[in-house]
Amino acid sequence: MEPDEFWNIISNDDKIHLIFLCGGNICRSPFAEMEFEQLLADSEIKNKEKFLIQSGGFIFQKDVRIHPFTEKALLEEGIPKNRIDKHFPRRMRKHKDDLINATALIVMTESNRDIQLPAKYRDKAILLSTLGLSNKVVNILDPAIIKEYPQYLEILDQITSYLKNMIHKIEDLGI
């Protein structure tokens, strides 16, 4: 999906179902889901009830709910602990109905879209970075292996900047 197509769909759909996707659904996509929910709640967007926001991944995660650095960053963003605790990694192979019914699948990297996402859903996929102001393709690195919080936070800050751009664009569209 191209950015113009995404914005056209967003402008005209009665219900907007966005799924943020990454590899394991423990770092980037749950952060994007909860951060977007918060930004949406705090925004000037009129029809917030139109939005259903979810996240998911492709890699099976055993005994992991959310990366500790992601949880820390979400708490620092003011996301309530009880909201964070509701997150369980969703392996999208078990949630095909959500993939089918989603308005758009917002991925973090080209490999999330081109390798991990089954081909039949790729027409709904768009890179998060292209929804920013520049429409520039930027693969958002997986921070899971980063050991230092400041470097981890840089990646989450990058996600936040793209999400803020999305919110501003939605506000500008008068949704």
- Per-residue pLDDT, 129: 94
Sheet holding 51-56, edge to edge: 51-56, 16-21, 104-107, 125-127
Q: What pairing do the DSSP bridges indicate for beta strands 51-56 and 16-21?
A: parallel
Confidence of residue 46 (pLDDT cuts 50, 70, 90): confident
Over residues 18-29, the pLDDT tens digits come to 999 999 999 999
| Close Cβ partners of 154 (under 8 Å, ≥ 6 residues apart) | none
- Per-residue pLDDT, 102: 96
Distances (CA, A) of 101 to 15, 17, 22, 34: 10, 8, 18, 20
User: Which domain, by its residues, includes 43?
Assistant: 3-173
Number of domains making up the chain: 1
Q: What is the mean pLDDT of residues 158-165?
A: 95
CATH of the domain at 93: 3.40.50.2300
Distances (CA, A) of 151 to 33, 143, 155: 21, 8, 7
d(CA 54, CA 33): 6
Mean of pLDDT over the chain: 93
Q: How far apart are the first and last CA of the chain?
A: 20
- Per-residue pLDDT, 175: 83
Over residues 76-124, the pLDDT tens digits come to 999 999 999 999 999 998 889 999 999 999 999 999 999 999 999 999 9
pLDDT over 90 at 132, yes or no: no
- Per-residue pLDDT, 133: 65
Confidence of residue 136 (pLDDT cuts 50, 70, 90): confident
d(CA 57, CA 47): 28
- Per-residue pLDDT, 13: 82
Element (H, E) at 20: strand 16-21
pLDDT over 90 at 64, yes or no: no
- Per-residue pLDDT, 165: 94
- Per-residue pLDDT, 63: 74
